Structure 1
Amino acid sequence: MAGERSTDESWYFTEEELKYQTASRADNISFEEEEKLRRVGAGFIQDVGESIRVPQLTIATASIFFQRFYVYQSFKEYDVNIMATCCLFLAGKVEETPKKARDVIIHSARIEGKPKMSEDSTEFKNLKDQVLKCERLLLQTISFDLAVEHAYKYLLQYVKDIKGDRSLAQTAWNFVNDSLRTTLGLRYKPQVIACAGILLSSKYNKSALSETSDGKKWWSAFVDVSEDTLKYIGDEIIKLYPPDQLAVFNAMAASDGEDRGR
């Protein structure tokens, strides 16, 4: 899968393409290591984005830029944190929530644990130069295609349409946030991820979601996708959580099952 993607092509890939044909795989970086680096980079974007107080939509756009970039560029060649910083800087401009390069870089350095630096320092100037150079490379790699559609708006509309409550929506929103640390956004459309987030949220919120008037699953009104696919997406999100958090989720699900059995 060499080369850059032209602007008229879709930004969706098969599982096989992402597992075997990325630039990192050509550099002998394993699939497991690449997944780990993608999680690290997206997590870094989330942390820095919250630190500089940009909206979640900006953080999400930066995360998608990051995920797309590393389909065609290798983690061996480009530093995770520099590229994550660059993606957040560009996303701020794209989503009309711009932050000065100085602020993004200084907050990124702080999150990374580097000593406090001034704008006059050689280290700051070097970092800024790297970020701006990476921005040009990022734009070239994604073919200047800055359009990114997210699951959030669909999630909120779907929850409203099925008469779900605030808790259902909030937990689903959190799951969608976490999906940004995976390649799910490179494999499934935002409408599908929104439905997967809602289905997963309903499992842990004890929300019984009604079927449609003609007896079909609730999501069939929004997307043409199987329950297995939605559950698979949910499983991929759940795998991100540490064992102690998984234990809490599983206890909630078990409690849900007991309540329904009474």
Structure 2
Amino acid sequence: MSTALHPLASLQQIEKTSSREDGIPADLEEDLRAYGCKLIQQAGILLKQKQVAMATAQVLFQRFWFVTSMKQFGIGDVGMGSLYLASKLEECPLRIRDLINVYDLLLSRAAHELNAPLHSSTYPPFKYTPMGYFSQTFYDMKDALVVAEMQILKRLGFGVQVVLPYGTLVNYLRVLGLVNQDDACQRAWGYLNDALQTPVYALYSVPTIVSAAILLTVRHIGISLPSTPPNCWWELFDAEWEDVWTVAGHIMRLYRERSHEERTRTMRMVSKKEVRKWLDERAASMVL
């Protein structure tokens, strides 16, 4: 990662991530990143964490995969480690026990959904039984969480400074006169939150990401802003059009239709064990 105040991935890391070097396709890595961030958000809501802590955790999670492969660490473990670390950085610390219980609940529910037959109405509803205080599962998850937090700090070189975009968004909307314009602020805020499921916070500066959220907002609401050179509104914020358009594309890809096979494939590969199993099966099928 770069040594700037807001660490960004290098060109070499962007062109070929560690996961892709290990044979994980770009689309699968993209889906696993998004699913890992969804788990962080869901866990944070259940644990009543601050939004800033959940956002910080997701940014750290995204940065981690530019220096490490998903073959080496599971997205579930790194998600837990990211949220635990972010809760301390934002001064709203979590109890390890609570975090493990919530992640176990989320993963158990996902496993139940995977086992349910497609379009079945007779499959029994999900029921969660908390693990015992002294069960081996708890100790295994605790060890994985501690290791994940340590590896995040180590591999990011303790560069855990995160600049969040929410204050910048409000300032930009005021400059453009959009604060009182229908639901522009709420919609743009939502795009910024959705963008946390993509790598953009590890690729672009905050002004560029905020400009992309505003671009999507005004296009969906139908608000006209100066967009013809030399009077382009994004230039007020030192953002390049190509970068703003690329960030908007990353966000919009989140809303694309995914097949049932794509969704189940992602949900199954929360652990590094499942990722390695998938890679082995893929390699075997290519040999045949």
Q: TM-score, normalised by structure 2?
A: 0.75
Tell whether the 8 Å contact from 2:13 to 2:66 is kept in structure 1 after alignment.
no
Whole-angstrom CA distance in 2 between matches of 1:157 and 1:10: 19
Q: CA deviation at 1:40?
A: 1.3
Q: CA deviation at 1:140?
A: 0.3
Q: How many equivalent residue pairs?
A: 237
Q: CA deviation at 1:243?
A: 4.2
Match of 1:63 in 2: 58
Q: 1:15 to 1:37 in 2, by over 3 A?
A: farther
Whole-angstrom CA distance in 1 between matches of 2:40 and 2:105: 13
Q: Higher relative contact order by CA 8 Å / sep ≥ 6: 1 or 2?
A: 2
1:11 corresponds to which of 7, 12, 24: 7
Identity of matched residues, %: 29
Deviates more, 1:160-169 or 1:232-241: 160-169
Q: Does 1:192 align with 2:223?
A: no
Match of 2:72 in 1: 77
Q: Does 1:218 align with 2:233?
A: yes
Segments of 5+ residues of structure 1 without an aligned counterpart are 245-262
Whole-angstrom CA distance in 1 between matches of 2:235 and 2:66: 31
* RMSD over aligned Cα atoms: 2.4
Q: 1:177 to 1:8 in 2, by over 3 A?
A: closer
Whole-angstrom CA distance in 1 between matches of 2:66 and 2:46: 27
Q: CA deviation at 1:92?
A: 0.5
Tell whether the 8 Å contact from 2:170 to 2:179 is kept in structure 1 after alignment.
no
Q: Does 1:117 align with 2:131?
A: yes
Q: 1:224 to 1:6 in 2, by over 3 A?
A: closer
Deviates more, 1:195-204 or 1:29-38: 29-38
Match of 1:98 in 2: 93
3-state secondary structure, aligned to 2:152? helix
1:142 corresponds to which of 150, 153, 156: 156
Whole-angstrom CA distance in 1 between matches of 2:3 and 2:146: 22
Segments of 5+ residues of structure 2 without an aligned counterpart are 110-128, 259-288
Whole-angstrom CA distance in 1 between matches of 2:210 and 2:220: 16
Q: Does 1:89 align with 2:120?
A: no
Match of 2:253 in 1: 239
Q: Does 1:41 align with 2:36?
A: yes
Q: 1:6 to 1:180 in 2, by over 3 A?
A: closer
Partner deviation per Cα, 1:105-132 (whole Å, 9 max, x = no partner): 1111111126421322221122111101
Whole-angstrom CA distance in 1 between matches of 2:13 and 2:233: 31
1:179 corresponds to which of 187, 195, 198: 195
Match of 1:162 in 2: 176
